[in-house]
Amino acid sequence: MNPVATPFFFYALSGVAVLSAIAVIMRRNPVHSAIALIFTLLSLAGLYLMLYAPFVAGVQIILYVGGIVVLFLFVIMLINIDRMEREYQFNKQWLVGLVAAAVLGALFVAVYVKGQSIFPHNAVRFPEELNTQQVGKMLYVDYLLPFEIASLLLLVAIVGAVVMAKKRI
Amino acid sequence: MNDFLNYLNSNLTPGQAGAYLWVVIYILIIFAAVSAAVIAMNWLERKILAHMQVRLGPMRVGPHGLLQPFADALKLLLKEDIIPEGADKLVFWMAPVVVVITAFTTYIVIPFGPTHAVTDMNIGILFMLGVASLGTLGIIMAGWASNSHYPLLGSLRSSAQMVSYEVAMGMAVVSAVLMTSLSGTGPYGIGSASGAVGTLSMIEIVKAQADQHVWFVFKFFPLGFAAFGIFAIAMVAETNRAPFDLPEAESELTAGFHTEYSGFRWSLFFLAEYAAMIAVSAIAVALWLGGWLRPFPHWLSGDAWDTAFSFFPALTFFILAGMTLRTTIRMPKHPYFKIQKTGLGVFGLALGGIGLVLLVPPVRDRIQDIYWFSIKVAAFMYLYIWYRGTFPRYRFDQLMKLGWKFMIPAGIGVLIVTALVGVL
Amino acid sequence: MEITTLHYLVVAAALFIIGTIGVLTRRNVVIILMSIELILNAVNLNLVAFSRLYGLHGQVFSIFVITDAAAEAAVGLGILIAFFRNKETINADEIDLLKF
């Protein structure tokens, strides 16, 4: 199946992603930031689909949007303080932060301009029908140890989060 | 134009064939059909619940209350649109939109037939679970934006419940997907042939059931049945229906997260809830009950049996038409009832007419897959209404205890035992 | 104009810079955590963009990144809730005591 209207979808999705990311860091109300984060994550899932990675897109929607952002919203509602929205939102060292980010941006620009020759223009296209099966095989054959370690890490995170959020241990 | 009609000869879904105009047509058909199904569910639920509680239900609006859903829809459209005073207007507006969009997006991959899906993504079931989990966000936004404590509590409880039972649903779904690859044709009869792999695509899962000549609910009995049972219970909890409807029951939290929504916005929540019910029932039917396959496709095979089973759609409509016409005859013979009698008679004759159309051979062959799928989903809808009329409500801590301490370990257990049995 | 890998890398770099600005400038700890999620997503986009050229390893690693982001968000928010119970604030510059 041939891709259709690729530049349009790429510019639309990446535009939504970047604008929503700016909204995440600029909004006063944390719930509005969380909703902007949802838009960013969903448009990134669309970008993954354009990069022929449907399994990663599915995992992103289930875990990130359906799990992590829900967790953020729960915590925002639990510790919502109205006076926080009327205070000044940016801290004292905002100028240093902006300068640091600008230097980082300049670094990115320098690397990408100098290294343009290593990004080939004709990208290899993997067959999309067996993507899940191949990722699954790779997870269980090449990356078995990291897989088990990740499950252990999740167990530790669950126990730690429950212990820390309890009222009395 | 030729390209447009050429698609009908190919045996791919429109998304795979790249026929985008047909994709739009399928989406419009699904939208219309789901809306009609929700309207029918409204009437059916009130009538069936009423008959279970030995009363009659709506009888006045149309003949036997058949026009009640339309009256309800009209009333909701004309109601005043109230927004609470301190409510966050943007989030308040967006919440019903998010819930409806996620409920309807799941219909893209539902397999009504081997080529009758909008598209056949190779991550079909993963996509459906993911989009179903997006509905939780809409409910949280609705509760928070209402600026009132009943909706906030209701939405937090409701989303906590939905998130918990999503995990149980995921476990049950994974064990069904596992069964697609355990076809018993591999070396020494273990597992599957070396080339056959499991699949997440909904159409391929139903085709795997056809190839293995067994519905997954009966495979490795009782494991398939246990997985199906876990999914059936988790899907009722996922859609906030009785007996898990504490967050939105009227006597508990004054309608929970949609308390402050009136008129058209409430009807969007209602539409989304019933559409989500039909969608998760469609997942259960496709994964365990053989999707579009007729009963006993392998034992009772052959042209004679195929033709015998192909009369079922017409038979269903004839039975419905017969019931309607019998009710028409038994209506009171009073001039006040003349309009209702004629209306009901026309409705009965229309049902009979549809039954006659379904007897025509070309239509009869094409309607088979869609009919069997719809009948199974309709059986699930009846189960939903039956649960609502029969079971008392779960208290919230009992609900969460059931989800985390029983459903998830049971799901993991079924998955492990299925894997073991499949490899042996 | 054909969309090359460089286009995706530029989008990822933009998201990374926006996330960094969020981490360094905002006072609200929840927004800081959300900006960290933005940074992780930018890294994911980079990984998946390169996996189109060099094999599926990028996609597998991005799944691990998503898993770790979930664990880290849970623990971070747990710490925040525990802290909020002691001192009623979630501003990063008011969390400045070593002992209550």
Please report whether residue C100 resides in a domain. no
C55 confidence band (pLDDT: 50, 70, 90): confident
pLDDT surpassing 80 at residue A6: yes
pLDDT surpassing 90 at residue A164: no
CB-based contact (8 Å) between B167 and chain A?
Answer: no
* Cβ <8 Å between A77 and B152: yes
**What's the CATH number where C56 sits?**
1.10.287.3510
The answer on A60 and A22 residing in a single domain is yes
Q: Which among B156, B166, B198 has CB closest to A77?
A: B156
Q: Mean per-residue pLDDT for C81-85?
A: 87
CB-based contact (8 Å) between C27 and chain A?
Answer: yes
Terminal Cα distance for chain A, rounded: 57
Terminal Cα distance for chain B, rounded: 54
- CA-based torsion, A25, A27, A30, A32: positive or negative: negative
The answer on A58 and A10 residing in a single domain is yes
CB-based contact (8 Å) between C32 and chain A?
Answer: no
Q: Which residue has the higher pLDDT, A83 or B41?
A: B41
What's the half-sphere exposure (Cβ side, CA atoms, 13 Å) at B238?
30
**Spatial separation of the C-alpha atoms in residues B96 and B272, rounded to whole Å:** 8
pLDDT surpassing 60 at residue B171: yes
Q: Which residue has the higher pLDDT, B62 or A128?
A: B62
Q: Which among B20, B130, B152 has CB closest to A66?
A: B130
Domain count, chain A: 2
Check if the beta carbon of residue B87 is closer than 8 Å to that of residue B147: yes
* Cβ <8 Å between A146 and C64: yes
Domain count, chain C: 1
Please report whether residue C55 resides in a domain. yes
- What is the pLDDT of chain B when averaged over all its residues? 86
Q: Where are the domains of chain B?
A: 2-311+359-423
- The predicted model scores a pTM of 0.91
Asked which of A119-133, A150-164, C24-38 is least confident by mean pLDDT, the reply is A119-133
The interface pTM score, or ipTM, of the predicted complex is 0.93
For A15-73, write each residue's pLDDT tens digit.
Answer: 999 999 999 999 988 999 999 999 999 999 999 998 889 999 999 999 999 999 999 99
The answer on A137 and A70 residing in a single domain is no
pLDDT surpassing 60 at residue B194: no
Q: DSSP 3-state assignment of A90? A: strand
Residues in chain A closer than 8 A to C66 (CB atoms): 56, 59-60, 63-64
Q: Which residue has the higher pLDDT, B183 or A46?
A: A46
B182 confidence band (pLDDT: 50, 70, 90): confident
What's the half-sphere exposure (Cβ side, CA atoms, 13 Å) at B151?
20
B191 confidence band (pLDDT: 50, 70, 90): low
* Chain A residue closest in CA terms to B137: A70
Of A63, A60, A74, A66, residue with least CA distance to A30:
A74
- What is the pLDDT of chain A when averaged over all its residues? 88
Q: Which among A21, A53, A165 has CB closest to C82?
A: A165
Percent of chain B having pLDDT more than 90? Answer: 41
Of A43, A78, A131, residue with least CA distance to B152:
A78
CA distance A144 to chain C (A): 11
Query: Which domain covers residue A148, as residue numbers?
Result: 130-169
Check if the beta carbon of residue B198 is closer than 8 Å to that of residue A133: yes
Chain A: residues touching B (Cβ < 8 Å)? 1-2, 4, 29, 31-32, 35, 38, 54-55, 57-59, 61-62, 65-67, 69-70, 73-74, 77, 128-133
Of B198, B214, B199, residue with least CA distance to B120:
B199
How many residues in total does chain B contain? 424
pLDDT of the residue at C15? 96
Check if the beta carbon of residue B197 is closer than 8 Å to that of residue B208: no
For B17-33, write each residue's pLDDT tens digit.
Answer: 777 888 888 899 999 99
The answer on A49 and A83 residing in a single domain is yes
pLDDT of the residue at B129? 92
Please report whether residue A117 resides in a domain. no
How far is it between the farthest Cα atoms of chain B?
76
**Spatial separation of the C-alpha atoms in residues C77 and C74, rounded to whole Å:** 5
The answer on A136 and A108 residing in a single domain is no
Please report whether residue A119 resides in a domain. no
pLDDT of the residue at B396? 86
Residues in chain A closer than 8 A to B156 (CB atoms): 74, 77
In a mutational test of the A interface, the residue from B12, B121, B140, B204 whose CB has the highest number of chain A CBs within 10 Å is B140
Please report whether residue A120 resides in a domain. no
Which residues are CB-neighbours of A13 under 8 A, at least 6 positions away?
Answer: A43, A44, A46, A47, A50
Q: Which residue has the higher pLDDT, B415 or A127?
A: B415
The answer on A151 and A95 residing in a single domain is no
